[in-house]
Amino acid sequence: MTRAHYLGPWRVDLTVRNGVSVPVRGRRLARAVAATLDAAGAPSPASIGLILSDDRELAELNEAHLGGEGPTDVLSFPLLQPGAFPDHSGKAADEPDGAPDPEWPPAVTLPGRRPSLGDIVISVERALEQAQAGRGGQTGDVRWSPADELRLLAIHGALHICGWDHAAPVEEAAMRSLERDLLALDPTTRRRAPGV
């Protein structure tokens, strides 16, 4: 099932795979993604895909695209190069000469359509397990609700779409800081929640 959520200049196309039970409203996840796109300075208006799946699909994608084994919690498939986004301390490194990566496919937008920023794929199965086992929060030591873990993974995936990375310590610190700030936002208003 796919449902489009229109939030300001963003369209978040939320797809829930058959048989996947999601413990949080899709609109709440879409708002977390939209707030992330705002914070990251993504070019707008644009669309982004958010796919809620299971360990089997994430394991297949992990192997096919990253050469990894087994499932992971979230994968991002950006369609724009990091240079399409504003500079920041969490930005993935550009090509050494500053030129676009020739291996990167060119972004294609049909006339009259919103450009797509890419897709985020989350294993709800992995998110539930991580949250319940106290291995959530990207640091692997947070016990919180599955809804919070899914929000974090949606935010994390959207940041990767926007050219953020965590390979270098300075990138990781910047990315984790922005994730915490975005998690503190009230997802219904995209403003800081009272008392946070």
pLDDT averaged over 10-residue windows placed end to end, the chain, 196 residues: 94 97 94 96 96 96 91 94 82 56 57 86 94 77 86 96 89 90 72 46
Residue 32's pLDDT is what? 97
Contact 36, 56 (CB under 8 A): no
CATH value at residue 144: 3.40.390.30
Distances from the Cα of 161 to the Cα of 135, 145, 174, angstroms:
24, 25, 15
Burial of 102: CB neighbours in 10 Å, binned 0-12, 13-18, 19+? exposed
Pairing label, strands 116-123, 46-53? parallel
Strand partners, 116: 47
Residue 6's pLDDT is what? 96
Residue 194's pLDDT is what? 41
The range of the structural domain enclosing residue 56 comes to 2-96+114-191
- The number of folded domains in the chain is 1
Contact 168, 41 (CB under 8 A): no
Identify whether 16 is part of a domain. yes
Identify whether 105 is part of a domain. no
* Residue 101: other Cβ atoms inside 10 A: 11
Q: What is the pTM of this model?
A: 0.85
Identify whether 183 is part of a domain. yes
Residue 113's pLDDT is what? 75
